[in-house]
Amino acid sequence: MYGDWYRKEYKAGQNSQGEQSETLLSDTESSDSRQKPRRSTISRCGITVLFLASLCVAAGLGAWLGSRWHIGADHFCAAHASQYSPIRKDVDITYNVIRFNGSLLKENVYRQDAGPDVDAAWASLGVDYRSVMIPVDEAAKSGLLADQVKIADKYGGGFPANMEGLHQLHCLVNNGHSLLTTFADKIVDQNLLRKSLYYNFDHYHALGEGAFSNSDHILRHHVSHCLDIIRQQLMCTIDTGVLGQVWWNPSWPEAYVDFNTQHKCKNFDAIRQWAENHQLPKDIPFDFLQPPQEGDTIYEHIP
Ligand SMILES: *[C@@H]1O[C@H](CO)[C@@H](O)[C@H](O)[C@H]1NC(C)=O
């Protein structure tokens, strides 16, 4: 009943539209034949040729631009979608498809229980690299303010800084004023979240190194700082890829989320290498930092 009505309405709509367009067409045709009697076919041909030629030129130009764009796309994307720092200038940043290891039960070296092997694996990612120096003329572009902590002129000047990505990896707590002087001792919390996992905590707490040398109250703040920095980074670069599902268990197939998915990743190792090569010296003289100058902001509390 409903279907019949729908079909009728639909047909009627079609008909009236069809008629309308027919009328329009015949109108144009009649006026055409009246006003422009047999406009030369030659000029029509000419226009067609011209049109096709410009199409070819446009296609050629498009292909050429496309090939150039392809070469420069990684550079463009890195420049467009990341905060500037000298790394972007010095490192040839490329994007490559990487398959994540999202295994549930097969643990890779980064997931091992507390101990020297897993510590070494994380260390190899550059999580405990020392700060680098950002030259004065790169500072503003890199988001550093003129009155932030500087290296004394006699040691070359510039701004001490840490690469965000490595900070996120090692979750370093940067107390600013003592970044360099006590750098290796109390302030660095290499992969603090991992070390604070309930099954790792006792091991690292007993070792009492890095963040674990602080009171439990401060340690707690360090841990939640790390968690929240990583939250913000994940939100900032929110991954719009999708996780499909796979079947497992041949005798009783069950759906399971496929965590081993593909991602477009920056060439981490080249960037890590830059951070390794640009580390400030291990032993920092006591007057390495330039003291705050007149007018420099000095916060009342740790920001
Ligand atoms: C993930 O890592 C584990 C441990 O190294 C390995 O056994 C497994 O095959 C890896 N899975 C994928 C999908 O690469």
Higher local confidence (pLDDT), 108 or 16: 108
Non-local CB neighbours of 27 within 8 Å, separated by 6+ positions = none
- Ligand 1 pocket mutation, candidates 97, 98, 108, criterion most atoms within 8 A of CB: 108
| Ligand 1: centre distance to CA 44 (Å) | 66
Return phi, psi of residue 191, to 5°. Answer: 35, 60
Res 217: pLDDT:
86
Give CA–CA dist 290/294, Å, rounded: 12
- β-partners of residue 97 are 264
Q: Whose CA is nearest to atom 5 of ligand 1?
A: 108
For ligand 1, what atom is nearest to the CA of residue 109?
5
Question: What's the burial of 229, exposed, middle or buried (CB within 10 Å: 0-12/13-18/19+)?
Answer: middle
Q: Report the nearest-CA residue for atom 7 of ligand 1.
A: 106
| pLDDT given for residue 271 in this prediction | 95
Q: What is the arithmetic mean of pLDDT over 286-299?
A: 94
Select the highest-mean-pLDDT range: 66-70, 183-187, 268-272. Answer: 268-272
Between CA 58 and CA 53 the distance in angstroms is 9
**Sequence-ordered list of residues with C-beta below 8 angstroms from that of 11, at least 6 positions apart, any chain:** none
Nearest alpha carbon, ligand 1 atom 4: 108
| 108 C-alpha to ligand 1 centroid (Å) | 7
Q: Is the pLDDT of residue 278 over 80?
A: yes
Secondary element (H or E) of residue 217? helix 216-236
Nearest residue (CA) to ligand 1, atom 12: 101
Mean predicted lDDT score pLDDT of the chain: 80
Amino acid of residue 37: P
* pLDDT at 272 exceeding the cut of 80: yes
pTM of the predicted model as reported, rounded to 2 decimal places: 0.70
Ligand 1 center–CA 276 separation, angstroms: 28
Instruction: Give the helix ranges, DSSP H, for the chain.
Output: 2-35, 41-81, 86-90, 116-123, 136-139, 164-170, 192-195, 201-207, 216-236, 268-277
CA of 37 to the centre of ligand 1 (A): 77
- Ligand 1 first shell, C-beta below 6 A: 101, 103, 106, 108, 260
For residue 116, the CA-to-ligand 1 centroid distance in Å is: 21
Whether 117 has a pLDDT exceeding 70, the answer reads yes
Alpha-carbon torsion angle 194, 196, 202, 208, nearest 10: 100
The confidence score (pLDDT) of residue 37 equals: 53
Mutate to test the pocket of ligand 1, among 97, 106, 248 (most ligand atoms within 8 A of CB): 106
Q: Where are the beta strands (DSSP E) in 65-127?
A: 95-99
Residue nearest atom 9 in ligand 1 by C-alpha distance? 106
Query: Which pLDDT value is given to residue 189?
Result: 52
Weakest mean pLDDT among 13-27, 104-118, 185-199: 13-27
From 103, 109, 110, 257, mutation site for ligand 1 pocket: most ligand atoms within 8 A of C-beta? 103
Looking at residue 216, what is its pLDDT? Answer: 85
In the reported structure, the alpha carbon of residue 123 is separated from the centroid of ligand 1 by a whole-number distance in angstroms of 20
